[in-house]
Amino acid sequence: MVINPLELEELRNKFSDKRIIFADGTFDLFHLGHVRSFRNLRTLGDIVVVAVLSDEWVKAKKGGKRPILSEEERVELVDSMRDVDYTILASKDGQRTPTSQLLKSLRPNIFVSIDPVWEDRRSEIEALGIELQIIPRVHESSTTNLIERIRKVWG
């Protein structure tokens, strides 16, 4: 179910007795690595909430040619996964990352990320009562590698 970021506190209250798992990402050119990640998130808790980063954010982080799929398409793809309960479109907001704002509103039990930048903010996240799990990126299952494979085959 796609929800608005303003609904996160209500979601936390609704599932106060459940273990909420949160992750975010680009999810551009959906691939097997994404599917496996969602399946692994499901094993960590009861409710899985995934934030899809906005087109604006992806362009700023990955360059002007990305994302390939629009934020609307990426949200719909993520939301269609059976291991994802709630999907949110995260938008860029000045100097704060959208994820930090979402974490403060939702206060999930666990925040799972492949981005090591969060390690520098571990104490800030844990002060919110959130466990941070940094997991390794699976390079053979990445959108960047998929794009390169397509370029090699199709030029």
Q: Kindly report which listed range (71-75, 93-97, 125-129, 138-142) carries the lowest average pLDDT score.
A: 93-97
Retrieve residue 44's tokens: 């960590």
Quick: pLDDT tens for 20-67: 999 999 998 888 889 989 999 999 999 999 999 989 888 888 888 889
Quick: pLDDT tens for 97-116: 578 899 999 999 999 998 88
Task: Given CATH 3.40.50.620, say whether it is the number of domain 5-154.
Answer: yes
Quick: pLDDT tens for 60-100: 888 888 899 999 999 999 999 999 999 999 875 544 457 88
pTM attached to this predicted model: 0.89
Contact 78, 87 (CB under 8 A): yes
Instruction: State mean pLDDT over 119-124.
Output: 94
Contact 54, 98 (CB under 8 A): yes
